[in-house]
Chains A and B, each alone.
Chain A
Amino acid sequence: MKMSQPTTNRFRIAFTYLKQLCLLFLPLCLLVLASCQTVRPYERMYLNDADMALKLRQIEGYETNIHAYREGAAGANGGKAGGGCGCN
């Protein structure tokens, strides 16, 4: 089956995007993994601090939703990424 020109372009753009992702994130992930240390429970004082939690603060949730409304790009940050509202 022959694909139309816009569809081919879309796949090309998607492929370029995935290639960029790999080029950027793969070395970063390898670097992070290679430098990991074993952290013992008594060394977790800083990691357990509320400001170190690896997520958005609860109070930021509203602003994250506003970004989903006001910007075409959304998601991968714990907030809304589409659906459940009268927006895209």
Chain B
Amino acid sequence: MWLQLIQGRMSNLGHSNHSTNWRRWLRCLCVLGTLFAGKQSLYAQSSEEAVDIDFLFHYYEQDGNHSAVTGGIGTEELSDIASNIIVNIPLDSVRRFGIHTHVNHYSSASTDNIDSYISSASSVDNHFTLNLEYEKTFSDGHQSLGGNVGGGLESDYISTSFGASWWRENAESSRSLTVTAKAYLDTWIVIFPEELRAPGLVSVPTNKRRSFHVSASWAQVVNPRLQTALTLETVFQQGLLSTPFHRVYFGDLVELPTIERLPMMRWKIPLGIRAHYFANDWLVLRGSYRMYWDSFSIFGQTLSADIPIKFSPFFSVYPFYRFHFQTAARYFAPHGEHLETAEFYSSDYDLSGFVSHKFGLGLNYAPLNGIFSFRTSPQGATNTLRQLNMRGGYYLRSDGLRAWTVSLGFGIRR
């Protein structure tokens, strides 16, 4: 309502003479000042009534020389273009329905090499996911319960997922606990490398994989400028965890490769801490640290920081940096270094020991009353472009993989 009132005032300005304009501008500024003082309550009120639609577009490109498809050597060139549409529909003041759609189209040299040794980024594939979620906030406003179902589809697998979440905060809104659980049921179309497709040459015990996630996140306000969160997650996976079209080469004595083999079960235990500090009127410090362990013997540590510099309360630019270190999975060895006697083996460099760095820049522009408003038809509802986000980053891994990504996002409220 307040938003519409301001927009009404702003649109009226165009039809007035200069002196009236000044008075209206002053009135507008007073209203904006009042709103700025209590901007969160305004946001909460308007978001309860309006439908939010967010559009996100991404482009990603990578290149390296350790493709798992060709046994740890060969091009990893890949490009991916992706889009997300996220619709958030308030059903009433306590119930919300969300629709998340994701589509990506990628071109991958390594996928092309399942059938051929000629390296070219020519094989293409598409990936679709759809997730529906429902959330209800209870009457005291300090507790909510939600559920979600979804599915994913790619040329060689189909996935269904379902989950639930529970959130509770104390009366002062200074401490909250979020517990989420999610299960993914995936089925693969098993594709073997070209030279291993003769009947009986290789096999896998199942084409199914199940993944179960449980996470608990505790958020705590420390003082008026600092808040922290601690997240513990446990993931249990069972079924086909290897990728059958990943080749593995043994020592020089064996010429024909075999397919990657990994255990049928995997535990992952990541633990993360996040702290955000509003240093002064123009600087925010956001940092996070994660420690990770899994049953493949990968131990990882990730440190990331971004520093939003606020040019106004609604416009910020943030440089970011992320550092990641991990030890190799016990089943990993480079091309031609595996022993035939081993039970499990992989030459996938994503499971190798490495250090990675990522850095880049992002910007976020979200004025209180939106960037501009428009109508799709004369009698139609008013749509407001409420925010604009951009982000670009460069990623480099110590094994030689290089990647860069750009993202653009904007949100519409109607």
Contact A72 B296 (CB under 8 A): yes
Contact A83 B271 (CB under 8 A): no
Nearest A residue (CB) for B316: A51
User: Which of chain A's residues have a CB closer than 8 A to the CB of B54?
Assistant: 58
Most chain B CB within a 10 A radius of its CB, from A14, A50, A82, A88: A88
A82-B213, A84-B159 given as contacts; is B278 within 8 A of A72 (CB)? no
Contact B409 A51 (CB under 8 A): no
Q: How far is the CB of B313 from chain A (nearest CB, A)?
A: 8
Q: How far is the CB of A73 from chain B (nearest CB, A)?
A: 3
Contact A76 B184 (CB under 8 A): no
Q: How many residues of B contact A (CB 8 A)?
A: 100
Most chain B CB within a 10 A radius of its CB, from A10, A35, A60, A87: A60
User: Which of chain A's residues have a CB closer than 8 A to the CB of B294?
Assistant: 72-73
Contact A57 B389 (CB under 8 A): yes
Q: How far is the CA of A52 from the CA of B391 in the complex (A)?
A: 18
Contact B268 A59 (CB under 8 A): no
CB of B39 within 8 Å of the partner chain? yes
**B269-327: which residues lie under 8 A (CB-CB) from chain A?**
269-274, 276, 278, 284, 286, 288, 290-300, 302, 308, 310, 313, 316, 318, 324, 326
Count the A-B residue pairs with Cβ separation under 8 angstroms: how many?
A: 223
Q: How far is the CB of A72 from chain B (nearest CB, A)?
A: 4
Contact B233 A73 (CB under 8 A): no
Nearest A residue (CB) for B60: A66
Q: How far is the CA of A70 from the CA of B154 in the complex (A)?
A: 18
Contact A86 B401 (CB under 8 A): no
User: Which of chain A's residues have a CB closer than 8 A to the CB of B60?
Assistant: 62, 66
A38-B172, A83-B211 given as contacts; is B230 within 8 A of A58 (CB)? no
A37-B222, A39-B223, A84-B184 given as contacts; is B407 within 8 A of A63 (CB)? yes
Contact B222 A44 (CB under 8 A): no
Contact A38 B84 (CB under 8 A): no
CB of B188 within 8 Å of the partner chain? yes
Q: How far is the CB of B363 from chain A (nearest CB, A)?
A: 10
CB of B225 within 8 Å of the partner chain? yes
Q: How far is the CA of A46 from the CA of B278 in the complex (A)?
A: 6
Contact A62 B407 (CB under 8 A): yes
User: Which of chain A's residues have a CB closer than 8 A to the CB of B84?
Assistant: 61-62
User: Which of chain A's residues have a CB closer than 8 A to the CB of B225?
Assistant: 46-47
User: Which of chain A's residues have a CB closer than 8 A to the CB of B58?
Assistant: 62
CB of A77 within 8 Å of the partner chain? yes
CB of A5 within 8 Å of the partner chain? no
Q: How far is the CB of B40 from chain A (nearest CB, A)?
A: 4
In the complex, besides A17-B269, A52-B276, A76-B231, 5 extra interface pairs with C-beta distance below 8 angstroms are: A43-B224, A58-B389, A59-B391, A74-B268, A85-B152
Chain B residues in contact with chain A, CB under 8 A? 39-40, 54, 56, 58, 60, 62, 82, 84, 86, 127, 129, 150, 152, 154, 156-157, 159, 161, 172-174, 184, 186, 188, 209-211, 213, 215, 219-225, 227-233, 235, 237, 241, 243, 262, 266, 268-274, 276, 278, 284, 286, 288, 290-300, 302, 308, 310, 313, 316, 318, 324, 326, 329, 350-351, 356, 358, 362, 364, 366, 389-391, 393, 395, 397, 401, 403, 405, 407, 409
